Structure 1
Amino acid sequence: MAEALRERIRSGHYQPGEWLPAERVLTEDLHVHRRVVRAAIAQLEKEGLLIRRPNCRPIVQAPAAPVADDLPTGSQFPASRLVALIMWHGAALGATGTAQQRIFWGMNQALGQAGYHGVFLDLGEEVGTEQENAEREATHLRYALDHGFGGIIFYAYAYDSNRELIQEVSRRMPLVLIDRMVPGVEADFVGTENRQAMFDATKYLIRQGHKRIAYVTKGESINPVQDRLQGYLRALREEFASDAYEMVLTAPFSDSSTWSVFDTVFKLPAEERPTAVLCVNDIEAVRVAKRLAELGLTVPEDVSLIGFDNIVRTLPGGVGLTTVGQPFEEIGKAATKMFLRRVDSAAVPQSHVELPAQLIERESSKSISDDSSG
């Protein structure tokens, strides 16, 4: 069983960064008992081919590359002391700087201590279409390759594009992906414990007395979006079992789009509509607050609201936003540590690190009585 799964990983049938199929699926597919599946998974975890986290399926890791004559060693990587951070600049939404700036600060501080210097290859303030993002990211990746940078730390938005180019970059120089994994790409990765953080935020609302908690997400398949959703669902099911009130809403693509399902839910009588909303990020929390105001509902008197990222401190009405704070500076430092580790030896196993996040309590969420929670 272990050899069968090992071969599927090596052949690319199971891509790095993807979840392994569920145990039930593997049991039926390979005609073995579930105990055998679990033993094989445990073996591949020891070999570094799978990563397991609590309450989720294992994540496929790329097999460690053999040391060959043409495999770069630390001394064969580019000797440049310049390390590129390729990402979007982001809009300034708070006094603490953008998430991207804070990642760069942490990265450059750690690089400076090691004798390197970070260079921000800015993709712009506005994220474009998938094609526009892919073209800009490809241009910057090739620029770093052609100009002999010593390595790249990369925050991808066009995660379904440029996979061959990104893989080429990872073969020619140290490459660290941050925030989101790119399926099919073998590279070091650092992100946030998104699933646990959203689980904790949901539990916080439950402790405040909320039972009808809605979740607003985005229609993206990237791991941060999906992990946060799973954290919300796990908290509800753990607390309420079969009686869990699950309300997952997808935010419209733009402010001009219709909010028909959202409006229908929040036009329900007070004893039926959600008393709290969790949002996939702070940007969506701001949009939700505006939409609630248009419906005549206030935060937190009518609806408690929690975001994610801690890049927005105050909602349009002046209410402080309760949110999950990502450790952006620490992400930059951790990515730098991975880069330096890869410089020392190109053959070290790939690393996957997720840093803890912290719930930041402000005025947008408040306790309610059992009677008002329904």
Structure 2
Amino acid sequence: MVTIYDIAKRANVSSMTVSRVINNSGTVKEETRKKVEQIIKELNYIPNSAARSLNIKETKILSLIITDITNPFFTKVARGAEDKAKQMGYRLLLSNSDESLEKESEYINMILSSGVDGVLIAPSGDQSKKNLRTLIKHRIPFVLIDREVDGIQSDVVMGDNFDGTRKLIEHIIQQGHRKIALINGPSNISTARAREKAFIETLQLSGIQPEENLMYNISFKQNNAEKIVEKLVSLKKAERPTAIFAANNFIAVDTVKALRDLGKSVPEDMAIVCFDDPEPIPGFNPFLTVAAQPDYNFGYLGVQLLIERIEKKGPQGFQRIVLPPEIHISKSSIKG
């Protein structure tokens, strides 16, 4: 990792001079300033590293990067994070990656250049490994929430995706359904993979063979399920599913709306269960059978772990907190 001492050596100036150029403080000759700035550019140096190497006081600012602020799950995560940060004397900067690696990378670069004490992040997917390694390189503490990334060791707060999915599928099988479709999130996201694995294994343990033509991967964002629902409904009656497992709240709501538009009733024509609990929607019926996660606690506990990591008050090893969901049975999966 490049330090201000590397820059000072290359420019043949003192580290204090480099610090003055970076922080735009003190008196530095214009010729020297330009020389140092050119070397900083050549070495792709991140100014915040200078602040750390010079032991500048903590900013008491944390960064929260979530993937979709419009999703009620992440809205509550943010509230929990903000409450805990304030309680412990920190401020929280909120960023929304929009499930985009590009936007996530932009926020990581902003964090490096502006300086925060730590980052609470829901990764956009497996491709986030690059950004997380950047944080590790610059010694910025971080905690993962909701999603894990293979090959990255860190503190993490996440839900029990496998057990929540298993219980939902067991419930729908108990209602007599044998043909069950899965509308899932992208396979490069750990939560989607865990939910798919539980879906498949629970069907198999019940003597039901999963059917690939009933399993789909789409975005976790809004307004993406309509075409998939049309495909499922257009299948011949013997091939058509009688129930759908929607892997998140947005997919579930979009699925119910799409079924309505096609003249289908829930649960009479198609039962629905889903992971995560959507916010109440005026005029929306039926109420959904869900695996409701303690979303507020994701943010609250995530910030607690992060501050412990920053202040070196927690255990040396990484902590993995898995929060169990609550199964709420409602009208969308029960006829009559």
TM-score by length of 1: 0.65
- Structure 1 residues 317 and 108, CA gap change in structure 2 (3 angstroms): closer
- Structure 1 residues 211 and 312, CA gap change in structure 2 (3 angstroms): farther
Structure 1 window deviating more from structure 2 (178-187 vs 148-157): it is 178-187
Q: Deviations over 1:112-137 (max 9, x none)?
A: 232222221344xxx36xxxx22321
2:88: which partner in 1? Answer: 114
Question: How do 1:67-78 residues align onto structure 2 when only pairs under 5 Å count?
Answer: none
- Does residue 328 of structure 2 align to residue 354 of structure 1? no
- Does residue 229 of structure 2 align to residue 262 of structure 1? no
- Does residue 210 of structure 2 align to residue 231 of structure 1? no
- Structure 1 residues 181 and 91, CA gap change in structure 2 (3 angstroms): same
Counting matched residue pairs gives 277
SS at match of 1:364: helix
2:39: which partner in 1? Answer: none
Q: Which has the higher helix share?
A: 2
Inter-partner Cα distance in structure 2 for 1:257 and 1:205:
23
- Structure 1 residues 78 and 259, CA gap change in structure 2 (3 angstroms): farther
Shift of 1:238: 2.0
- Structure 1 residues 157 and 316, CA gap change in structure 2 (3 angstroms): farther
SS at match of 1:146: helix
Q: Deviations over 1:190-228 (max 9, x none)?
A: 211001100011111122333332222234221100111
CA contact (8 A) 2:126 2:188 kept: no
Shift of 1:142: 2.0
Inter-partner Cα distance in structure 2 for 1:82 and 1:305:
42
Q: Deviations over 1:138-194 (max 9, x none)?
A: 221122222221111011215415x34421313412101112223333322221100
Find 1:277's aligned residue among 244, 249, 269.
244
- Does residue 112 of structure 2 align to residue 145 of structure 1? yes
**One-letter amino acid matched to 1:151:** G
Inter-partner Cα distance in structure 2 for 1:347 and 1:122:
30
- Say what the alpha-carbon RMSD is for the aligned residues: 3.0
Inter-partner Cα distance in structure 2 for 1:211 and 1:288:
19
Inter-partner Cα distance in structure 2 for 1:320 and 1:309:
13
- Structure 1 residues 257 and 320, CA gap change in structure 2 (3 angstroms): closer
Find 2:289's aligned residue among 322, 344, 359.
322
- Structure 1 residues 199 and 315, CA gap change in structure 2 (3 angstroms): farther
Structure 1 window deviating more from structure 2 (245-254 vs 359-368): it is 245-254
1:307: which partner in 2? Answer: 274
SS at match of 2:151: coil
SS at match of 2:275: coil
Q: Deviations over 1:222-259 (max 9, x none)?
A: 1100111111222222223xx44656421566467576
Shift of 1:336: 1.5
Structure 1 window deviating more from structure 2 (184-193 vs 290-299): it is 290-299
Find 1:249's aligned residue among 215, 228, 242.
215
Identity of aligned residues (%): 23
What are the ranges of 5 or more consecutive residues in structure 1 without an aligned counterpart? 1-72, 93-97, 369-374
2:78: which partner in 1? Answer: 104
TM-score by length of 2: 0.72
CA contact (8 A) 1:170 1:186 kept: no
- Structure 1 residues 214 and 165, CA gap change in structure 2 (3 angstroms): closer
Inter-partner Cα distance in structure 2 for 1:209 and 1:263:
19
Shift of 1:318: 2.7
- Structure 1 residues 306 and 312, CA gap change in structure 2 (3 angstroms): farther
**One-letter amino acid matched to 2:161:** N
1:192: which partner in 2? Answer: 159
Shift of 1:360: 1.9
1:31: which partner in 2? Answer: none
- Does residue 132 of structure 2 align to residue 136 of structure 1? no
Inter-partner Cα distance in structure 2 for 1:209 and 1:257:
26
SS at match of 1:299: coil
CA contact (8 A) 2:229 2:259 kept: no
Shift of 1:104: 1.5
CA contact (8 A) 1:217 1:229 kept: yes
**One-letter amino acid matched to 2:328:** I
Q: Deviations over 1:65-113 (max 9, x none)?
A: xxxxxxxx9xx79622111101245226xxxxx2222112111222223
- Structure 1 residues 183 and 315, CA gap change in structure 2 (3 angstroms): farther
CA contact (8 A) 1:283 1:312 kept: no
SS at match of 1:198: helix
1:26: which partner in 2? Answer: none
1:82: which partner in 2? Answer: 61
